[in-house]
Amino acid sequence: MAAVLANPITRRLLRIPPSYFVFLVLLATLWIARPNMLNLNIMGIFIRQIVPLGILVLGQLVVMRVKSIDLSGGGIILLINYFISSGSFPGASLPFFVMLALATGLVIGLFNGFMIGVRRVSAVIVTLAVSIILVGLVQFLSSGNPPGDVPKLFNDLYNTKFLSVPTPVLFWVLLTALVWLLLSRTVFGRYVASVGENAEAAHFSGVPVQRTVILAHTLAGLIAAIAALVQTGSIAVGSVRVGLDLPILAVAATILGGVVFGRGDGGVWGPFFGALCFALLFVVMTVLGIDEPGKLIAQGVIILGAAIFYGVRVRTP
Amino acid sequence: MVRSLFNILSGRNTRQGLWGLPLLVALLISLWLTVETTQFATAENLFNLVAQAMPLIIAAIGQLVVVLIGGLDLSVGSVISFTTAVLALDQPAIVLIPAVFLLAAFIGLINGLAITRFNVHPIIATLSTQYIVLGITRILRPVSGGTVPEIVIDAVSGSFLGIPYPVFWGIVVILAAWKLLYGSRYGLHLFAIGGGIASGAESAARNFGVSDRRNIILAYVVCSCFAAVAGVFLAGRIVSGDPNVGLLFELDTVTAVALGGTQLSGGIGGLHGTVIGALVMALLANGMNLANVSPFVQTAIKGGILLAVVGLQSRKKMGL
């Protein structure tokens, strides 16, 4: 085992985020099982469904780069979905809802950041607790029933296409590119990288560690709010269950993309393909007739497998 | 005298954590419920309360073992659901009961191995086993149903000398945990490893000849087995298998452990605190039910308590 791991070729292979391999394997499976599924129109529809997850992954990877985690996305998505669909703001326009969503995400993200960065509470506990509180509140406010309809404009926007590519997918790619620029070309990106690598060393080199962590979480909250808007557009109705499993999937996709608490050679595109993997995975599972429990097991195995893949990589000298 | 009382209340100079304050809270809630409602201070309600709190107490003790070494087990809830599902498989009890514990120990073993051998973060490892176990549970039993062996039902619902069996469950489990944590070498090692991890010197215990890897793996096995005991108890109470019965249990156990003054960063904490923490949770649930609070709001309040309690704990580490 050790000799294999020390081999330069193996080590180089281990540096590639697992998501690329998984993506290729899933693509090959699909190509063998149902070649006719692989055309732009059908894949576009499937990939379009994964866009909220893909956007949430962007926030997740930023916080995971600073050795933190954000599981509050489910609560944020549910709350924003409730705001839009409950009719508590009659006659409000699209910009109003966008601003409201962004403000919500900002406040929750800032709160997470404060608790994690300043109060130093365990990130898992804080964000899970925030999510539970939000879910409980939304379910109470809507008494457990789906609230109402979403203004038609949301779904219309979601259904548009640009040069036969669904707009949400383009939007996702654009956002990914933005986050990539943010992480690789700005001072904030450097701060994130150094805090993730070694927070103590970063502190002594003059990196504002606390501020970086708080900013990363605020950014994650904002991105979750954007994901919530897209998700609401995609289902077009109010729901008390929407998006609750997305944070876990986002963690899974991010780990699959080679970003595990701190370092990450995959950067932004590894997790991007991680999210794509889940799109393909669901297609493959549906094609092979595997239902809900099988999907849960697959999720678990993928997270564990990717984390072990990473753990083995770190172990090697 | 006054000073030592103050120390217990403020949790100072002690490795047991802050357990005096939760005890005070528990007493205050009981007092309030006694004064406000007539139903609370009856023997029947108190026994009911014990029976309601018991699964949480048992599972929280398991969670405590893992928390003491600076870990966290998020698969507790799914192990509980899984246990009830396996128990309702219509096989003889002599096969099912050992099987349940073997399977739980196996889940714990996977967690422990992933964490120690493959360097996976505890939260990620247990999160993924949570999903795998949940998936298997849903395959075994998509909706609640089936029948649990008679012996399990009898072990939970009977009574002896007018005292219901759940009370004895509590006594046995707490004594076993007491022996494990305070009366064995293993317990000492747990505190040693946890103290080292909490202070940032992860090799501290190893330097004194404590095999940390083996003990950490064992801690996850113990945690899963306690969860299985809680599952057996719950299966006896609901008389069937239910894939959702353990939902959110992992967070309730973490809340109970944290509420009992145990530091989530490891090393500091105690059994009495955890039991008190679980009792406070049960009292709150009991009180909120008596006060007719919506179950959704109850969930939100539980989350708020978790947030507040953990927010008040100070720790050095940032992030996970």
Which of B57-61, B162-166, B230-234 is least confident?
B162-166
Contact B318 A260 (CB under 8 A): no
Q: Residue A317: pLDDT band by 50, 70, 90 thresholds?
A: very low
Which residues does chain A have within 8 Å of residue B137's beta carbon, measured at their own beta carbons? 293
Instruction: Quick: pLDDT tens for A233-262.
Output: 888 777 777 777 888 888 888 888 888 765
The chain A residue lying nearest B318, using CA atoms, is: A120
Contact B318 A261 (CB under 8 A): no
pLDDT (0 to 100) of residue B294: 87
Query: Is residue A7 scored above 80 in pLDDT?
Result: no
User: What is the residue-averaged pLDDT of chain A?
Assistant: 84
Instruction: Quick: pLDDT tens for B1-11.
Output: 777 777 777 66
Region B112-117: mean pLDDT is: 91
Please report, rounded to a whole number, the percentage of residues in chain A having pLDDT higher than 90.
Answer: 23
Q: Rounded to whole angstroms, how far apart are CA atoms A115 and A240?
A: 27
To the nearest whole Å, the CA of B117 is away from the closest chain A CA by 9
Region B192-215: mean pLDDT is: 82
A238, A236, A78: which is closest to A159 by C-alpha?
A236
Residue B225, amino acid: C
Sign of CA dihedral B13, B17, B21, B27: negative
Which of A171-175, A227-231, B241-245 is least confident?
B241-245
In this predicted complex, what is the ipTM? 0.82
pLDDT (0 to 100) of residue A16: 78
Structure tokens at B74: 């998020």
Which residues does chain A have within 8 Å of residue B249's beta carbon, measured at their own beta carbons? none
To the nearest whole Å, the CA of A120 is away from the closest chain B CA by 5
Region B182-195: mean pLDDT is: 89
Q: Rounded to whole angstroms, how far apart are CA atoms A313 and B17?
A: 37
**CB crowding A184-195: b at 16 or more within 10 Å, else e:** eeeebbebbbbb
Query: Is residue B238 scored above 90 in pLDDT?
Result: no
The answer to whether B241 and B145 have CB atoms below 8 angstroms apart is yes
Please report, rounded to a whole number, the percentage of residues in chain B having pLDDT higher than 70.
Answer: 97
Region B258-269: mean pLDDT is: 84
Which residues does chain B have within 8 Å of residue A124's beta carbon, measured at their own beta carbons? 72, 123, 320
B234, B217, B222: which is closest to B80 by C-alpha?
B234
The answer to whether A225 and A76 have CB atoms below 8 angstroms apart is yes
Q: Residue A265: pLDDT band by 50, 70, 90 thresholds?
A: low
Contact B127 A251 (CB under 8 A): yes
Q: Which residue has the tokens 């201070």?
A: B41
pLDDT (0 to 100) of residue B55: 92
User: What is the residue-averaged pLDDT of chain B?
Assistant: 86
Contact A315 B135 (CB under 8 A): no
Q: Residue A316: pLDDT band by 50, 70, 90 thresholds?
A: very low
| pTM, entire model | 0.87
Chain A interface disruption, residue of B128, B250, B255, most A CBs within 10 A: B128
Q: Residue A106: pLDDT band by 50, 70, 90 thresholds?
A: very high
The answer to whether B133 and B127 have CB atoms below 8 angstroms apart is no
Contact B307 A115 (CB under 8 A): yes
